[in-house]
Amino acid sequence: MPNWELKHCCKHEQIVFLATLGVCAVVILALWRTVLLLPFKLVTVFIHEASHAIACKLTCGHVEGIQVHANEGGTTQTRGGVYWFILPAGYLGSAFWGMVLVLASTKLLSARIAAGCLVVTLIVVLFVAKNWTLRGLCIGFVLFLAVVWVLQETTKIKILRYIILFIGVMNSLFSVYDIYDDLISRRVNSSDAEKFAEVCPCPCTGVGWGVIWESHLQGTHFFLVSLWSHISWFGDLVLRYAVV
């Protein structure tokens, strides 16, 4: 009979990674209402709005401007494009890019690539930003990532992977919180999910669409991280029973 026990499923570095991911989640939840997380929350709002902008460009629309506000809100002004594709891209984008950053943090090379892509995106958005909160956020976070990168390459302070992981976990958690805050806690009628419910012929409320979007993305997130952490165990299992 196949042995499906997970006793030896993970290598040491995989256990460390999963433990670090858990610590990041606990720290974020513990400091959620504090000012310490505000810069990271604003970056998450930026990624949410940037996801709307990406969806707009992918559907041949025009992005007129992006704003991020100090109260953790944000707006993206678009013209043209496919509306029903642009609307869910904010919530889904936060969860998706959170997943990408979490997986990128597992290796130094991929963490460098993720940091580089984030810096380039911040610089590009700097030129379409419509308010000084977003401009300041772009400049400040570019400088922050530059300092982290220099420390990574020139000193013994190796924190680049942890910063990328932290931002990834922050995005994943914030996307869940964003849906809860917009659709359940405060019930904002102008939220993306409520607007989507108005234009979509399917008889589903904004809350329903928000839950559907988030459950799919968080499920995919959990699956991919779990697959990575068990990849060595899974490969051994396949090789062991393929010959039987």
43 in Cβ contact with 141 (< 8 Å):
yes
Residue 232 above 50 pLDDT? no
Would you state the pLDDT for residue 65? Answer: 87
State pLDDT tens for residues 154-167.
999 899 999 999 99
pLDDT of residue 141: 94
More confident residue, 136 or 235: 136
Q: What angle do CA 176, 24, 94 make, to 5 degrees?
A: 30
Alpha-carbon torsion, ordered 175, 117, 46, 39, to 10 deg: 90
More confident residue, 103 or 191: 103
pLDDT score at 244: 42
pLDDT digits (tens, 9 = 90+) for 206-222: 455 455 555 555 555 55
Handedness of CA 96, 101, 104, 110 (dihedral sign): positive
**Considering just the CA atoms, what is the radius of gyration of the chain in Å?**
20
Q: Quick check: 10 pLDDT over 50?
A: yes
Confidence of residue 73 (pLDDT cuts 50, 70, 90): confident
What is the structure's pLDDT at 150? Answer: 94
Helices marked H in 59-204: 83-86, 89-104, 108-126, 132-154, 160-180, 192-199
Judge whether residue 203 has pLDDT over 80.
no
The mean-pLDDT minimum among 5-19, 59-73, 118-132 falls in 5-19
The answer to whether 137 touches 39, Cβ cutoff 8 Å, is yes
What would the mean pLDDT of 48-76 be, rounded to a whole number? 89
- Count of Cβ atoms closer than 10 Å to residue 40 Cβ: 19
User: Which pairs count as long-range contacts for 111-114, CB under 8 Å and 24+ apart, including other chains?
Assistant: 111/160, 111/161, 111/164, 112/149, 112/160, 114/164
For 225, the enclosing helix (H) or strand (E) is helix 206-229
What is the model's pLDDT at position 131? 86
pLDDT at res. 7: 57
By C-alpha distance, which of 47, 156, 164 is closest to 109? 164
Average pLDDT of the segment spanning 91-114: 87
Average model confidence (pLDDT) for the chain?
77
pLDDT digits 0-9 by tens, 35-48: 889 999 899 899 98
Sequence spans of domains, the chain: 37-225
Percent of the chain predicted with pLDDT > 90: 27
- Checking if the pLDDT of 147 tops 90, the result is yes
